[in-house]
Amino acid sequence: MFVSVCVLTVSQHALGVEVYEGAESVLLPCQVNVSVSKDSTVVWSREELKDSFVHACDQRGDNLQDQNQDYRDRTSMRTDALQTGDLGLTLRRPTIRDSSTYTCIIREFGLELSREEVQLMCPPLLLSHVGSHKVQCWALFYFLYIFSHLGPFSGSMAFYSIVMRMTARSMSPLKRLIPFHLSRC
């Protein structure tokens, strides 16, 4: 006589994780208490995307063949994830576009053993200060043409919105090329 028992674990509420845009990485936690075998697979997904596959691994390692392009080279899991039950997903360089609900599913022979949801909130980092304090930033540079007669200048780039006030002092009436680009503060 053959008896099969299937235990399905589903979280009632999504766990919330918040990290500001521009952080180096964020860990989306997923811990399972079910026993996993060498035939188990872990799949992280984001259901609202057309290509919902974010990351997967099994006993042989990561399986990223069908990974959504937005997550290419940005995700990783512990190499001993299935042995320890720590199935957390590390997402590098999170942006506001990564804000969503992620699902961690463990399967064995096609059957779902466990499902956990994690809500990632990734708000933009906003800095606002009026005064004479210096803020140290690291930056990459684009080239902006600034006419000396324009006076104060304001601009925004990529996912970062920064207002800068500059006064260009002219050495000649011709426009000057000033190297400038900002990635994050």
Percentage of the chain lying above the pLDDT 90 cut: 39
Q: Domains along the chain? A: 15-121 (2.60.40.10)
Token pair belonging to 175: 């426009």
Q: Is 170 a residue whose pLDDT tops 60?
A: no
The per-residue pLDDT for range 75-90, each reduced to its tens digit, is 999 998 888 889 999 9
Q: What is residue 132's predicted lDDT score, i.e. its pLDDT?
A: 60
Give the C-alpha separation, 145 to 179, whole Å.
Answer: 9
**Residue among 78, 59, 77, 56 nearest 67 (CA):** 56
Three-state secondary structure readout of the chain: CCCCCCCCEECCCCEEEECCCCCCEEEECCECCCCCCCCEEEEEECCCCCCCEEEEEECCEECCCCCCHHHCCCEECCCCHHHHCECCEEEECCCHHHCEEEEEEEEECCEEEEEEEEEEECCCCCCCCCCCCCCCCECCCEEEEECHHHCCCCEEECCEEECCCCCCCCCCCCCEEEEECCCEC
Looking at per-residue confidence, does 152 or 147 come out higher? 152
